[in-house]
Amino acid sequence: MDVFSVNQQVLSRSFIEPPYSFPENIVWIDLLQPTPEEIHAVEKFLNIDLPTSEEMGQIEVSNRLFQEGKSVYMTTSTLMKAYSHEPEIRPISFVIVGNTLVTIRYVESTPFKDFMSHTSRLSPNQYHAVYIFIALVGALTNRLADILERIGHDVDMINRKMFRHSTLEHKQKIDFQEILWEIGRSGDLISKVRETLVSINRMAVYFSQVAATIGGTFDDNTLLQTEIHDLQSLLDHASFLTSKLNFILDATLGKINIEQNVIIKIFSLAAVIFLPPTLVASTYGMNFKLIPELDFKFGYPMALGFMVLSAVITYQFFKRKGWL
């Protein structure tokens, strides 16, 4: 486990291993994929009960946000592996006991890693649990802002593919299957970002109501309100991207319907054009005495060849036009 403690006005980071001897003035204990022994050691050191992985997965607000005496327990949903093909939502728990923050997570988090690498920039008046918690909320928020920015760029790319202008001589075929896949992926990612934003915002609002009871200052509350405002702004932006994506989806389905109607119209027109010759052929058939091809030695295979050739030419023509 990673432990951050204050020693001679300096925030130092150390990795604690068995037999788990904790230093003094600890302000942050980070448990990444903790073992039962690590959980037990922290519980014994702080004289508290930490949430289990099953309890962290519960979605009831009363089980995620509550206070026991001077200890505050908070669990939020966070987006992991956002840029992979399988982004997922995982819980992270925050427990504040006195001036010590305990974080519990079972998957690596980029915001946590980035914040840990910049703890040397903190000033001595920021060496306390409340500030570190708010800073982590800010790091998670900034990460979600970056993800939304990238989603916005992806949505713009999809929009340009759908409504790009092509010259009459060089019309480009739109790959609707690819566009629908991109719309689905972006929509799924936006929904996961929204879920994370709502969860973090709920946690931040709750903490703003109880921060004063555990030593939170006016400056801490001001900083927390700024993060809450940023979360609300990101939620509004996520809603905008969702609306834009829905518009593109409707436009895509509309264009697919239009192209299908055009193809059906072409087939219907072809059927109407060839109906009169077919009617004449079916009426008279082969009922004439003088049919030169009947005496032609290769007339039958030639007719079969014409049948196959006409089918192949028609198929290639329709395929080249994109009607098949």
- Within 8 A by CB and 6+ apart from 189, the residues are 82, 87, 147, 151
**What CA–CA distances, in Å, run from 113 to 32, 89, 117, 156?**
11, 18, 6, 30
End residue of a domain, out of 236, 257, 278: 257
Mean pLDDT, the chain, as a whole number? 88
Judgement on whether residues 59 and 172 belong to the same structural domain of the protein: yes
Residue 19: asked if its preceding bond is cis (omega within 30°), the reply is yes
Distance CA 294, CA 316 (A): 31
Judgement on whether residues 129 and 202 belong to the same structural domain of the protein: yes
End residue of a domain, out of 257, 288, 309: 257
Residue 262, pLDDT score = 82
Q: What is the 3-state secondary structure (H, E, C) of 297-323?
A: CCHHHHHHHHHHHHHHHHHHHHHHCCC
What CATH number did the domain enclosing 212 receive?
A: 3.30.460.20
Region 305-317: what's the mean pLDDT? 84
- Hey, what's the torsion of the CAs at 95, 101, 102, 107, to 10 degrees? 100
Judgement on whether residues 105 and 15 belong to the same structural domain of the protein: yes
Residue 76, pLDDT score = 96
* pLDDT tens, position by position, 272-288: 887 887 777 777 776 77
**What CA–CA distances, in Å, run from 122 to 28, 50, 65, 95, 153?**
13, 27, 27, 21, 33
Region 85-108: what's the mean pLDDT? 93
Region 186-205: what's the mean pLDDT? 96
Judgement on whether residues 145 and 272 belong to the same structural domain of the protein: no
Judgement on whether residues 233 and 270 belong to the same structural domain of the protein: no
- Number of alpha carbons in the 13 Å side-chain half-sphere of residue 161: 20
pLDDT above 60 (res 263): yes
Which stretch of 12-21, 33-42, 262-271 has the lowest confidence by average pLDDT?
262-271
* pLDDT tens, position by position, 208-250: 999 988 888 888 899 999 999 999 999 999 999 999 999 999 9
Judgement on whether residues 77 and 142 belong to the same structural domain of the protein: yes
Q: Structurally, how many domains does the chain consist of?
A: 2
Taking the chain, what is the end-to-end CA distance rounded to the nearest angstrom?
60
pTM above 0.95, yes or no: no
Distance CA 150, CA 134 (A): 25
Residue 204, pLDDT score = 96
Q: How many CB atoms lie within 10 A of CB 191?
A: 13
Q: Structure tokens of 300?
A: 């039958």
Judgement on whether residues 309 and 207 belong to the same structural domain of the protein: no
Whether the Cβ atoms of residue 155 and residue 244 lie closer than 8 Å to each other: yes
Judgement on whether residues 221 and 312 belong to the same structural domain of the protein: no
Region 166-187: what's the mean pLDDT? 76
Residue 228, pLDDT score = 96
Structural domain for 147, as ranges:
2-257
Region 308-322: what's the mean pLDDT? 81
Judgement on whether residues 75 and 176 belong to the same structural domain of the protein: yes
Residue 172, pLDDT score = 62
Judgement on whether residues 308 and 163 belong to the same structural domain of the protein: no
Q: Which of 56, 220, 209 is nearest to 138 (CA)?
A: 220
Judgement on whether residues 154 and 188 belong to the same structural domain of the protein: yes
